[in-house]
Amino acid sequence: MSSPTAKGDMVSPHSSSPAPTPYAQLLSHLGRIHKLETIAQLLGWDEQVNLPKGSADLRAEQHAVLAETIHAAASDPELGALIARLAEGKGAAGDALSAEERLVVREAQRDYERATKLPVAFVRAKAAQSSVGFHAWAKARAEDDFASYAPVLERNLELAREEAAYLGWGGDPCTSASGEGGSRAYDYMIDKHDPGLSAAVIEGLFGELRAGLVPLAREISENDDGRAKAARARLRGFSINAQREFLDEVTRRLGFDYEHGRIDVSLHPFCAGTGADIRMTTRFNEDEPLDSLFSAIHETGHGLYEQGLPLAHHATALGKAAGMGVHESQSRLWENQVGRSRAFWAFFEPRFREKFSGPLRGVSSEELYLAVNAVEPTLIRVDADEVTYNLHIILRFEIERQLFSGALKVGDLPEAWAALSRELLGLEPKNDREGVLQDVHWSDGAFGYFPSYCLGNMIAAQLWEAVRAEEPEIEADFAHGDFGRLLAWLRKNVHAAGKRHDALDLTQRVTGKPLSPAPLLRYLRERYLPLYS
């Protein structure tokens, strides 16, 4: 992809060097903001991977100071003046900006307007609260103590409503805690993660998916002879060191560049950073070897997307992700369509058996494949199979909508969670650790993020149909350990686009069809019904 050029350079009579154009000055400002944001990401990564328990208060203060610094840079009046000048569509000499430059200016203007509407005291308080929230959640989860976490969650909800109100998506910031403007506030949180989407659009997509998913899950359950569950139960006693070695081999083979990234251990797997420095995490359990593997593959999908975005433009919309729905489509595609396929295991099974010959003794290839694709409702989202996973997201979407509308109070969350779990999954948590305390997202106020997982599954399935139509033999590559053709297709069609298109537009452009749950339902039927019939 060609680099946007700074046009209309003017030469000073007293210097041989051209003066920077307004567009070049804009890029300089955006570059500084981006570098500060990467420092904040690194602090967040370290907090979840390395931070000593007694250092939490200091880290909250560090987050607050850095957030204040980023906010000052993002709301700098000089930046605003540059954007206003460039928004007229002209460079220094009056020549028109290119389409790519106009995109950069438009997104910079959107970010600047958001930054200038948020008071610095609010930005500082929210950053500190995010750190406080993470440690409060980790402690409450370990002790199964929702009551201690509830006030923190209540405060996070208040801050989310305030933020929406400041930006014109809700009521008065001073009265936001009452739930005024709640529906609009939730739309803001969704738009923050997935520009262009709203609760109403998601409700339509999720409703159609649920209508097809519930009978599919029921059909699988009715035909389940217990073989998959029994096979998975036999996967016990897998050395942690050997698991580390195996997932390192897998992620390297998929294409992750460890010269510009690493993988560590955290309580909740995640991926942070940009293409020049990607930090991934997973977690290990000797009796759950597939958990660490698929968590690592999932985060590798995120990492491959970040490493595929145009590195020279990471500070601008040309080098940023289209949104979290698209981001999740990359992680879910590698985790599920690739990682759970027969072709993938045709290549990796011999190495898997070599690493774990003892635990796999007596486990046939078919039993291993059944274990990889076992369908069994679970209370824990991150442990859920492909078929029932989306029901976990629908549950969280419904909970979030009720929280923002005021129909549900934070104190009533455990009971509401249990009721929806019974309705959607047929299971009820025995404690809050299995229910409302299981996810990290709300601890730092990431409301509106959960729908991205399900949207990502839909986009992934639609992309998978498109690439298989263009490259019918692509799965044969996997059986030979070659994932380059798929990665190249994603680089060309998804990664290179940056933030030029939102999730709905990108899906339409790449696949030729609007986003729909139909491809996901077709994919799930194609993979799972033959195993459960």
How far is Cα of residue 440 from the mean position of the Cα atoms in its chain?
13
Residue 174's CB is within 10 A of a number of other CB atoms, namely: 9
Q: Report which secondary-structure segment, H or E, holds 523.
A: helix 518-528
Residue with tokens 């969350």: 413
71 contacts 115 by C-beta, under 8 angstroms: yes
Active site residue 154: no
User: Which residues, in sequence order, are CB contacts of 377 under 8 Å at separation 6+?
Assistant: 217, 221, 384, 388, 425, 426, 427
Q: Report which secondary-structure segment, H or E, holds 418.
A: helix 413-425
Amino acid identity of residue 138, one-letter, is: A
Q: DSSP secondary-structure letter at 361?
A: T
CA dihedral 175, 177, 183, 189 (to 10 degrees): 110
Cα separation, 104 vs 135, in Å, equals 37
Q: Which of 101, 299, 367, 465 is catalytic?
A: 299
β-pair type (18-19, 277-282) = unpaired
Cα separation, 471 vs 466, in Å, equals 9
458: left (phi over 0), alpha (psi -120 to 50) or beta: alpha
The upper half-sphere exposure of residue 111, i.e. CA atoms within 13 Å in the direction of its Cβ, equals 23
Residue 407's CB is within 10 A of a number of other CB atoms, namely: 12
275 contacts 311 by C-beta, under 8 angstroms: yes
Active site residues: 299
